[in-house]
A and B are shown apart, each in its own frame.
Chain A
Amino acid sequence: MVAAKKTKKTHESINNRLALVMKSGKYTLGYKTVLKTLRNSKVVLSGKLVIIANNCPPLRKSEIEYYAMLAKVGVHHYNGNNVDLGTACGKYYRVCCLSIIDPGDSDIIKSMPGGDH
């Protein structure tokens, strides 16, 4: 799986979109809740996009990708580690994976067509 090298510009735009989701949308942070949203079939509470940090342990990463494949949910591999992802979410802790339930005003889901599966 060769992802295109992220340019500075697109990386910043992902951060912007994430910030908008944090402000206006619904999301959950953390491995356990991400799996929960992927399993959930209720439209209101189900995940729409999953973002994984790049230093996520490979077993956990493949597990989330497999669940997302079954649920037909896009997976985005964030260009940064869990510290960076936490900062991008505006939190003072590390975030290894997060799930976006409702993008709010953000167009993050539309601009990530299918994610980097």
Chain B
Amino acid sequence: MVKFLKPGKAVVVLQGRYAGRKAVIVRNFDDGTRDRPYGHCLVAGIKKYPAKVIKKDSAKKTAKKSRVKAFVKLVNYRHLMPTRYTLDVTAAKEAKKRLEERFKTGKNRWFFTKLRF
């Protein structure tokens, strides 16, 4: 039995306003806290995925399309679907900046594609 809900794990949020969005676990609270007596974690996710960029786009348009809107939320484990992917982003306060940087470097491509359902 391996612990897999660790910081850096990519998950898909299943419930709530951000249902269907991909997120990264930033911090775990396995035993919960007094306010939330259940296992939950802090996730940083994508509120708005970056749009598809085509070769025709001007530099200004590319910059505009590559923007990532992020959210940070405490989510119950029950409302997450863990995936086999990981993303080495463990910042909550600068989530937006970090995620945008990540996207621009072209790493973790799966994470920044919209989950189609």
B39 and A73 form a contact (CB under 8 A): no
A5-B78 Cα distance, complex, nearest whole Å: 36
Interface of A is mostly: loop
Interface residues, chain A, CB within 8 Å of chain B?
A: 35, 39-43, 46-48, 63, 67, 69-73
B82 and A41 form a contact (CB under 8 A): no
Contact among B30, B39, B78, B82 for A70, CB-based, below 8 A: B82
A70 and B1 form a contact (CB under 8 A): no
B1 and A43 form a contact (CB under 8 A): yes
B5 and A39 form a contact (CB under 8 A): yes
**A24 shortest CB reach to chain B, Å:** 20
With both beta carbons as reference points, the residue of chain A lying nearest to B4 in the complex is identified as: A70
B77 and A71 form a contact (CB under 8 A): no
A31-B33 Cα distance, complex, nearest whole Å: 25
Q: What is the 8 Å Cβ interface bit string for chain B, positions 73-95, against chain A (1 contact, 0 not)?
A: 00001100110100000000000
Contact among B1, B30, B78, B81 for A71, CB-based, below 8 A: B1
B1 and A48 form a contact (CB under 8 A): yes
Contact among B5, B78, B81, B84 for A41, CB-based, below 8 A: B5
Contact among A35, A41, A63, A69 for B1, CB-based, below 8 A: A41
A67 and B1 form a contact (CB under 8 A): no
A35-B3 Cα distance, complex, nearest whole Å: 13
B59 within 8 A of A: no
List the A side residues contacting B77 at CB < 8 Å: 39
With both beta carbons as reference points, the residue of chain A lying nearest to B5 in the complex is identified as: A39
With both beta carbons as reference points, the residue of chain B lying nearest to A47 in the complex is identified as: B1
A67-B77 Cα distance, complex, nearest whole Å: 12
Q: List 6 A-B contacts (CB under 8 A).
A: A40-B1, A42-B30, A69-B84, A70-B82, A70-B84, A71-B1
Contact among A39, A43, A47, A71 for B39, CB-based, below 8 A: A39
List the A side residues contacting B82 at CB < 8 Å: 67, 70
With both beta carbons as reference points, the residue of chain B lying nearest to A46 in the complex is identified as: B1
With both beta carbons as reference points, the residue of chain B lying nearest to A41 in the complex is identified as: B3
A41-B25 Cα distance, complex, nearest whole Å: 16
**A50 shortest CB reach to chain B, Å:** 11
